[in-house]
Structure 1
Amino acid sequence: MPARKPRLHALRPLLAAAVLALGLGAIVTCRMASANDTQDYPAASLSAPTDQAALIARGKYLTTAADCMPCHTGPGNAPFSGGLMMHTPFGGLSTPNITPDKATGIGRWTDKQFYNALHYGISPGRNFLVFPKYLYPAMPYTSYTKLSYADVMAIKAYLDSLPPVHAPREPSTMSFPFNQRPVLLGWRLLFFNPGPMHMNPSWDEHMKNGAYLTVALGHCGECHTPRNMMEATIASKAFAGAPIDNLFAPNISSDKTYGVGGWSKADLIAYLHNDGNLVKGSPYGAMGDMTDHSTSKLPVSDIEDIADYLQHGTKPQVTPPAPAVADADASIARGKVLYMANCDGCHGKTGGGMPPHFVPDLAGNDSVTAEQPFNVIGAVLNGLGSWANPGPRMPAFGAEMNDQEIADITNYVRTAWGNKGAADATPALVMKLRGVGDLPPIANEASDKLGCPRVSPAGGHGTVANPGNKLLGIYQGVTQATLANRTRQLITAVRANNSSISDENLTNTLVAAYCPVLANTPDMSLSDKKSALKDFIASAQPLIKAH
């Protein structure tokens, strides 16, 4: 997820809350869990296996259900050794090594320290000799706090059984004051209530298991629950759906109209366990990662329990679509023309997909008709990976369609074939989502470390506008001998598209195109790459002046 820099006025409430909570810290204490809190939990979670091999096996199962590995594995790194840069509204946060390495991992952590990390969000050590070392809630301890003690110890047993990997933590790039962990005390006092979830005693073991997997382990609410201005989930709107960068995690509550209460149980199980189907589509983006590495690896019986809990154990959330745009009819008509020209070859004239080639059905697809139009816009802008292997991938149209065209095609798809979505996509929203999700071809965590800017055809907050759309890869395979010529070519294309562009903005465009290529150059240290980028900027200035 690309990093977004928060504006100062948007941060003032959080700063004020932090100061207030720091003042209250001496008199406010966290609720401690009691022995009876878990009495209604599923039986399997209440006692750890006595056999070490069985304990490790239980821990592996829980770690898979919690989807720990993807977040704690950076590009090219060994599993669980950390190094993934997570992008938050307050800067980049690197994930730590959780292998049992004693120098850089958790090899020296005691059982109590590990439990405190998962249950209370506090890791070993102190800040400023006084404050506990609070974890950022990007680590979903707000959900893991609901795990039983026995299961936390099983997770630790599994992690302790892994090969230790020496992998020092990458530096985070959180902005001030959020890079100061004591500030988190304010957030915690306002929004963190440690302790287990309270099961309905009348639930059978299957419903309890589904609730436990969904809430405590799967931490589904972290993505599917709206957040307030301080990035805390809103409990009263649990599972009601929420934006995730340029996508939207839809309503998964039991509501039969807006949530998954009206899905067939078989479709929900297929979505979570079997990579979806042609009726309800397939998971992609962050949800695709979740199903690939977590729910698809669990027994089908567990997925049946999760489906039962979502469809019958959650509070129904009513999330009607937003009002349609003013020119909805005209937008839909234009979108239909665009759809027939670009999409019906795969998705069909009636949105029915393309069996047996696993192109998902757009008609009746809840992802398409979600409360907000993010998912259709994001898919059209940036494309999607292949839904099945082998199978076709969704191409990106962000370079070929302008913001109005993408809004039009979105409004058509959300309302055609009986779909109940609203024609609420606007060019302004498309432009905003370009800035969040559109990246150069090889932009990745390596380019994030180097500080490469994002690129989008239309620009947007925090992005560099790329006027040519086809030139993002112009530096691929570049050598020192060809670097100047390719730079001249890009400068010429930019000037032809925007003759009034300033030298500063032109420099930014060149950097945006070259930086990710440099970032992924092997056998160069980060400091060498930074020096090379400075040299590139300096060498580009005479070329800019000459054109």
Structure 2
Amino acid sequence: MSRAKRPQGRAADLNATVFAGSRRAALKSRRRVWKMATLAAAFSLFALYLAWLEANDEAAPHHTDESPLGQAVAQASGRASGAAGPGPDLVRRGEYLTRAGNCIACHTSDKRRPFAGGRAIGTPFGTIYTPNITPDPDTGIGRWTDGDFARAMHEGIGKEGERLYPAFPYASYTKVTDQDVRAIRAYLNTVVPVRYTPPSNSLGFPFNQRWLMVFWNLFNFDEGRFVPDPKQSAQWNRGAYLVEGLAHCGECHTPRNLTQGLKTTERFSGAIQAGWHAYNITPHKTSGIGGWSDQELVGYLATGVAPGRANAAGPMAEVVEDSTQYLSGEDLRSVATYLRSLKPVDRGETRSRGEWGSPASDALALRGTKIEGVNGAQLFLANCASCHQWTGEGVGASAPGAYPPLMHNSVAGASDANNLTMVILHGVRRTTQDVDVLMPAFDRELTDPQIAAVANYVTTRFGNPQSTVDAEQVGRLRATAQ
């Protein structure tokens, strides 16, 4: 009996095992189905949420708050005089605000066609070309309504509903009041229409998918107009409006995070833009501008020069030339007041950029000396001393057209040699109402090792001796698109 029952018991055990295995497999299958269903439901809910946001953004009423160019490119007097068009006061205000926002800098690749776009803006994800914002109906914004223009400025959304890339600083422009946006639009309607289609953006997948900007905005963009702080003065509030909004200073002077949004914890503490160092403009005594007087700050923004401190070059020279030199003294003082109130950010410098250096006497030591190889002192004497003197003391003292001294100069005293190298490579061009400043470029005259030698000589003799550059770094800076 027992022998006859054992096979049946084994079969029963086997059947039970198979049943249990099948049950476990079925449970796993059902769990996978539930997981997939839950994931699909979550994605659907998120998509519905985004659609709801889009619908409500479009349906919601917009706020109605308030906040070169030049006569050669404007037709304000002719168009503004029409009964149906904007008044001349609005157009003049728009021209001033357009200068404050420095719109011409990014939207002009050829000075013969201002605001027609086409300027290449390099990003870690590829190259973006700025659009034509002249009133041409086919290639510009001539068919845009005022609402289309306001939505682009405030929300980063184009006429056809396309997401704009944050190379257009809508994350800052969102703070600009509706009245000021209307004034800017009124002015742009008066500039000469230019029929020109800029090149297409050169962005690889997936960065060429504009809809992905929805996710960028979730982490880096807060839509909304500037709200004055009642606890602060009118001057402080005006400065905050300009610095944080219309003038978008943080877009260059704030480091970027992994997604290329601004690092809010390091606001205005300095960043690298197209090879140039946009310096720390917080009121830290050594790392920033804490040692500058209000007069020096205002003078620098108005002329590009703060004697014994800095001389604007590169992108900052362009900002002075196209924008800040035209701002009123009241607005410049407001900017200075607001910058003073920022949280100081320490970047570890032991001395401020303008405190380094003393006159050199190397010319005497080089007399009769046989020079072999690449010698920074010899190259300096041959290429730089005619303007800056062999002592490095410059010519013309603090006169508007002076050749600046190299000691007590922020470019030579910086903690890196980026800007000094870029100045040697590309020179300086800065035109203000007082003077035309020109330093020749040496990118075609000197090799990478020679430029490195000159830069290292200048930082060692007149600036921060810890700031050095090698030929390889010069080569990378030379190759950086401007």
The answer to whether TM tops 0.5 is: yes
- The counterpart of 1:136, out of the listed 139, 148, 165, is 165
Say whether the 8 Å CA contact 1:258–1:318 is kept in structure 2.
yes
Give the aligned partner of residue 262 of structure 1: 291
Contact 2:286-2:349 within 8 A present in 1 as well: no
- 3-state SS of paired residue (1:122): coil
Matches within 5 A, 1:287-436: 287-310=316-339, 312-321=340-349, 335-336=376-377, 338-355=379-396, 358-385=402-429, 393-399=438-444, 401-417=446-462, 419-420=463-464, 422-436=466-480
Write the distance in 1 (CA, Å) between the matches of 2:234 and 2:479.
46
- In the superposition, relative to structure 1, how do residues 391 and 299 fare at CA in structure 2: closer, same or farther (>3 Å)? closer
Match of 1:82 among 99, 106, 117: 117
Separation (CA, whole Å) in 2 of partners of 1:21 and 1:228: 26
Cα separation, partners in 2 of 1:254 and 1:303, compared to 1, 3 Å: same
* Bigger Rg, which one: 2
1:54 and 2:89 equivalent?
Answer: yes
Match of 2:313 among 268, 284, 288: 284
Pair 352,21 (structure 1): closer, same or farther in 2 beyond 3 Å: farther
One-letter code aligned to 2:418: F
How far residue 321 of structure 1 moved from its aligned partner, in angstroms, is 4.9
Shift of 1:271: 1.4
Verify the 8 A CA contact 2:122 2:481 in the aligned structure 1: no
Equivalent positions of 1:499-518 (< 5 A) are: none
**Shift of the alpha carbon at 1:119?**
0.5
The residue aligned with 1:69 is 104
C-alpha separation in 2, matches of 1:22 and 1:425: 53
Q: Does 1:101 align with 2:136?
A: yes
| Structure 2 counterpart SS, 1:87 | strand
Q: What CA distance in whole angstroms lies between the structure 2 residues aligned with 1:279 and 1:25?
A: 57
Alignment partners' CA distance in 2, 1:226 and 1:21? 33
Using the size of structure 2 for normalisation, the TM-score is 0.72
Shift of residue 60, structure 1, vs aligned partner: 1.6
Matched, 1:272 2:301: yes
Distance in 1, Cα, partners of 2:308 & 2:166: 35
Distance, in Å, in 1 between the alignment partners of 2:86 and 2:418 is 48
Q: 1:361 is aligned with what amino acid?
A: P
Give aligned pairs, total: 394
Q: 1:62 to 1:348 in 2, by over 3 A?
A: same
- More moved, 278-287 vs 143-152: 278-287
Residue 122 (structure 1) aligned with residue 122 (structure 2): no
| C-alpha separation in 2, matches of 1:199 and 1:392 | 38
Distance 1:195 1:435 in 2: 39
Q: 1:224 aligns with which of 253, 269, 285?
A: 253
Task: Say whether the 8 Å CA contact 2:134–2:192 is kept in structure 1.
Answer: yes
Q: Which position in structure 2 is the counterpart of 1:237?
A: 266
Q: Give the Cα separation in 1 of the matches to 2:110 and 2:214.
A: 32
Shift, 1:296, TM fit: 0.8
The answer as to whether partners of 1:250 and 1:371 remain within 8 angstroms in 2 is no
Shift of 1:251: 0.9
Task: Pick closer, same or farther for the CA change 1:381–1:55 going to 2, 3 Å.
Answer: closer
Q: Any idea what the Cα deviations from partners look like across 1:310-354, whole Å, max 9, x if unmatched?
A: 2x12121111359xxxxxxxxx99645654454333223443321
Structure 1 residues 361 and 26 mapped into 2: Cα distance closer, same or farther (>3 Å)?
farther
Structure 1 residues 21 and 341 mapped into 2: Cα distance closer, same or farther (>3 Å)?
farther
Change (3 A) 1:76 1:415: closer
Q: What secondary structure does 1:413 align onto?
A: helix
The one-character-per-residue Cα deviations of 1:7-65 (angstroms, maximum 9, x if unpaired) are: xxxxxxxxxxxxx9999554465998x999999xxxx62xxxx9833222222211110
- Gap change, CA 1:165 and 1:283, over 3 Å in 2: same
Does the CA-based 8 Å contact 1:370-1:421 persist in structure 2? no
Q: Is the 8 A contact 2:250 2:267 kept in 1?
A: yes
- 2: CA distance, partners of 1:36 / 1:436: 41
C-alpha contact (below 8 Å) 1:21/1:187 kept by paired residues: no
Q: Which moved more, 1:270-279 or 1:332-341?
A: 332-341
Cα deviation for residue 394 of structure 1 reads: 2.9
| Matched-pair contact (CA < 8 Å) for 2:313–2:423 | no
